[in-house]
């Protein structure tokens, strides 16, 4: 899903530098992060290039990118070793010298001092940057980046195509956490200010229980808007709509987006579950906390995954006291009180079994809500009657016990069956809590 | 870690096509997979480029790659829609027409027939490929790829630099599962046969309990060998050595690698835990199965993660009957029999508590081995005496109970603290089982 419009908006290229990327030792998550961020602030990205620590190829790629795009974002190659070539190659590509920034040097020295280790001499090179460029501060590490608005005059001297319009170059370390902090704290404000003095504000509206194409169809009338823009994104069994607005101030952009956000939230109903960093487990945790309820989970086929996801959330010990993974039938009997007859007659993967499991774990843990899961995650263990992908969910609460049956496609992996079952279970809890507020 | 040598080996470029990549909607895992695979068979990759669904930019990038490299691997753009441009752009770049492959068409039609849905007319284009190219079969989906050994004559006509040496072009769908199957089943045998008629064979030797630089130092004398080659790779708290040999046949290559593999396994001792797809949980499962032992886990701070990882392994229900997540103190008392006095005096994060938890869960589940974890995963809940990152592990077995104390760095995230604690716990079980065979 998604398209790019070639209009008056600036264009950008991403250059990732590092032999470890070419050897496949590292997954290039930086490019994805920057791509998504660029799309959100309305900057088109047409080329992404990955190269190793090689002077000729770095300089070639820098020049090619400057010939084609308004903005060049470079990640990697800012470290202190001989393999770190980004800064010097950038200076050479534009035909300028390097300046030494004493303030940066002091900051690097104090970084080592506070750790009580001597600074290797090689770190001095991290205080150098191309003449005429500015500092792109790195709040999280020693290596700062460059922020360089290159003038037509300098572009002309360096033999860059179309030198009339200035170019923006930014360099970032390859470490994702440092790159992201620098991007958010300095690069985004700079770019939004530089281009049309507009700021961008965006919000992800996360949905569960509807596919990406159905979501796109439902909101087809919004997808062609220009400000705010609305774009669907698919994830693992979930999807989201990103609403992005552009205006003179953040508050104005937010105001511009608000009616669209309100419309979507209202029309999506319970298909909408949260914003931005919300996950199903975060939302379930929030609802449990608000309603002062506790939950206990009895898992079979998911083997602890639901418990793991619920406890990924800081503070989850406030509403979870006990979860159990009753993998064996006798444990379902002994701990959860599932009747022997149920296991013999209906089997562990059945409506009756998850009903008794949910009721049993609720009682055993003295919780307000009991959740149970039993199914066949595969790859073995499936029969014609109960194939791989068959999963039952049980939810016991003060007014009774609800059951859901899932029939997941048998060709997906054990991990996917477990993940989707866990998501469905968490969503079942969410819907229950919403309906019983 | 890792370096590239520019010698007589062929060079390759990877071209990833798809606007969804440029928008950041998809993480480019294909490039990493192919990079790692190319490194393993001794083919250098100097450039990786990502572009959108745009005819001009696709043709420009194809021609540039053919000018620079011996091999061009292209992923994406093989689908049936108007946005899927790879095949026609490739034909146009080389100035040839397209041929219609009736056999491919039949295969696509039968794919739709077996699913009982009519084939959209647009799927016909998937049966087209550049004149002179061969089929690169896709065992997992409808869209096959092209495998094209382009002759000097054709390269000359198309205006490619250095047309004397032929070029190999392969196209793959963007779907990772299909691409990987095609790569392994057709591309690798073809490339190893085409270049020097040598085959490559590699084996990853996975280690736990030693860092990447310490591992590289320990085996420094092996890292400069040329056949087999040995290269270290770091993962999340783990690392591996990849041994790759090149020879006339797979058996010869394996024989060449064997002495080096034997040397490493012998010198690494219990730091070595498994090969290739082995994980700590797979190895623990294998050891438990061999020794006909069962395990039960009582988790606190990891909240089900250890249970989730152990049950990721198919067949784990043979050695796991019950795991519990006793998040609340009273559940530790009630289910595991942790003494009230222990919780008052030592607290839940203590040597004494994990000892009683491990013994308690072993007894409660009637298992042979009881594993327990209690710690402070953060971000809240830390004190000066018991900071975030403090984790205790307990392992109860037939001859007593072992305890380990971990002091993980407080600045890592809750998720990392949980992941590393779980890995340390699994490794503790592994070492115990190895020492008690």
Segment 37-56 of chain A within 8 Å of chain B by CB: 37-39, 45-52, 54
Tell me if A3 is assigned to some domain: no
Q: Which tens digit of pLDDT belongs to each residue from A209-233?
A: 988 778 888 999 998 888 898 988 7
Total Cβ atoms within 10 A of residue B280: 23
Buried b (16+ CB within 10 A) or exposed e, B18-41: bbbbbbbbbbbbbbbbbbbbbbbb
- Tell me the whole-structure pTM to 2 decimals: 0.77
Chain centroid, CA B280 distance in Å: 14
Please report where in the chains the tokens 């360096």 appear, as a residue: A158
Q: Residue B100 forms beta bridges with which residues?
A: B128
CB contact under 8 A, A47 and B49: yes
**Cα angle, residue B65 at apex, residues A167 and B201 outer, rounded to 5°:** 125
Say if A302 is an interface residue toward chain B (CB within 8 Å). Answer: yes
Range 304-323 of B in CB contact (< 8 A) with A: 304-308, 310-312, 314-317, 320-323
pLDDT 10s digits, B325-382: 999 999 999 999 999 999 999 999 999 999 999 999 999 999 999 999 999 998 888 9
Higher pLDDT, residue B322 or B229: B322
Name the average pLDDT for chain B: 91
Quote ipTM for the complex: 0.75
Question: Which tens digit of pLDDT belongs to each residue from B378-419?
Answer: 888 899 999 999 999 999 999 999 999 999 987 788 998 999
Contact B93, B63 (CB under 8 A): yes
**Does any CB of chain A come closer than 8 Å to the CB of residue B23?**
yes
Residues of chain A contacting B331 with CB distance shorter than 8 Å: 321-322, 365
Judged against a pLDDT cut of 50, whether residue A2 lies above it is answered with no
Mean pLDDT of A169-194: 92
The chain B residue lying nearest A318, using CA atoms, is B328
Q: Which of A21, A304, A324 comes nearest B308 by C-beta? A: A304
Q: Do A29 and B27 touch (CB under 8 A)?
A: yes
- In this complex, which of B61, B321, B415 lies closest to A331 when CB atoms are compared? B321
Neighbouring residues of A38: CB distance < 8 A, sequence distance ≥ 6: A12, A44, A45, B24
Same domain flag for B231 and B299: no
Of residues A24, A308, A321, nearest to B39 (C-beta): A24
CA distance B62 to B256: 38
Domain range for B110 is 11-194
Number of domains in chain A: 3
Residue B6 has pLDDT above 60, yes or no: no
Cis peptide before B255 (omega within 30 of 0): no
Bridge-based pairing of strands B295-299 and B272-275 is unpaired
* Residues of B whose CB is below 8 A from A418: 312
Question: Are B270 and B388 contained in the same domain?
Answer: no
β-bridge mates for residue A15, sequence order? A49, A74
Q: Which residues of A are less than 8 Å from B52 in CB distance?
A: 4, 46
B232: nearest CA in chain A? A25
Average pLDDT, rounded, for chain A: 91
Q: Which residues of A touch B379 (CB under 8 A)?
A: 314
Tell me: do A239 and A205 sit in the same domain.
yes
Domain boundary among A275, A292, A307: A275
| Domain stop point among A275, A300, A334 | A275
CB contact under 8 A, B325 and A311: yes
Tokens encoding A296: 């206990």
> pLDDT digits over B109-163, tens only?
888 887 777 888 888 999 999 999 999 999 887 789 999 999 999 999 999 999 9
The answer to whether residues B185 and B215 belong to one domain is no
What Å distances lie between residue B434 and B50, B288, B323, B361, B428, CA to CA? 47, 10, 22, 22, 10
Summarised one tens digit per residue, pLDDT across range B160-178 is 999 999 999 999 999 898 9
Distance between first and last Cα of chain B: 36
Q: Do B80 and B114 share a domain, yes or no?
A: yes
Helix ranges (H only) for B249-326 are: 250-268, 280-290, 305-311
The verdict on residue B3 lying in a domain is no
Residues B99 and B246 in one domain: no
Section A113-134 average pLDDT: 87
Looking at residue B198, its pLDDT comes to: 66
In B333-362, the residues whose Cβ lies within 8 Å of chain A are 335
Q: Give me the CATH number covering residue A267.
A: 3.30.70.2860
Residue A318 shares a structural domain with residue A187: no
Buried (b) or exposed (e) across A203-232, using 16+ Cβ within 10 A?
Answer: bbbbbbbeebeebbebbeebbeeeebbbbb
pLDDT of residue B80: 84
pLDDT at residue A6 in the model: 41
Distance CA B358, CA B370 (A): 5
What percentage of chain A reaches a pLDDT higher than 70?
97
Q: Phi then psi for A195, rounded to 5 degrees?
A: -95, 105
């Amino acid at each position: 899903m998604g398209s790019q419009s070639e209009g008056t908006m600036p264009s950008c290229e991403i250059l990732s530098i590092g032999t470890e990327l070419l050897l496949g030792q590292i997954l290039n998550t930086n490019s994805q992060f920057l791509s998504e961020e660029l799309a959100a602030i309305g900057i088109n990205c047409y080329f992404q290039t990955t190269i190793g620590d090689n002077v000729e190829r770095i300089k070639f790629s820098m020049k090619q990118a400057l010939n084609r795009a308004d903005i060049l974002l470079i990640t990697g190659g800012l470290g202190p070793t001989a393999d770190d070539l980004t800064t010097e190659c950038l200076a050479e590509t534009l035909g300028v010298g390097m300046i030494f920034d004493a303030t940066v040097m002091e900051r690097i020295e104090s970084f080592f001092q506070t750790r009580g280790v001597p600074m290797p001499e090689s770190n001095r090179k991290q205080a150098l940057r191309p003449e005429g460029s500015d500092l792109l501060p790195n709040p999280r590490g020693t290596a700062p980046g460059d922020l360089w608005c290159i003038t037509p005059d300098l572009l002309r001297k360096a033999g860059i195509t179309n030198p009339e319009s200035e170019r923006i170059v930014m360099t970032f370390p390859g470490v994702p956490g440092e790159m992201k902090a620098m991007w958010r704290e300095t690069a985004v404000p700079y770019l939004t200010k530089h281009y049309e003095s507009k700021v961008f504000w965006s919000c992800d509206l996360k949905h569960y229980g509807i596919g990406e194409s159905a979501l796109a169809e439902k909101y087809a009338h919004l997808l062609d808007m220009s400000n705010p823009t609305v774009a669907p994104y698919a994830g693992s069994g979930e999807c989201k709509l990103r609403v992005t607005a552009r205006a003179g101030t953040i508050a104005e952009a937010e105001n511009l987006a608000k009616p669209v956000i309100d419309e979507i939230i209202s029309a999506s109903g319970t298909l909408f579950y949260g914003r931005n960093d919300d996950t199903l487990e975060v939302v379930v945790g929030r609802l449990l906390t608000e309603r002062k309820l506790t939950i206990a989970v009895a898992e079979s086929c998911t083997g602890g995954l639901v418990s793991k996801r619920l406890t990924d959330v800081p503070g989850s010990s406030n509403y979870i006291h006990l979860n159990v993974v009753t993998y064996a039938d006798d444990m379902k009997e002994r701990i959860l009180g599932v009747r022997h007859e149920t296991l013999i007659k209906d089997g562990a993967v059945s409506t009756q079994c998850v009903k008794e499991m949910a009721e049993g774990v609720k009682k055993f843990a003295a919780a307000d809500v009991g959740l149970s899961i039993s199914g066949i995650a595969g790859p073995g263990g499936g029969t014609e009657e109960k194939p791989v992908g068959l999963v039952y969910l049980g939810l016991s609460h003060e007014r009774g016990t609800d059951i859901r049956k899932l029939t997941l496609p048998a060709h997906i992996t054990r991990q996917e069956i477990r993940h989707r079952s866990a998501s469905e279970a968490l969503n079942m809890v969410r819907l229950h809590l919403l309906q019983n507020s």
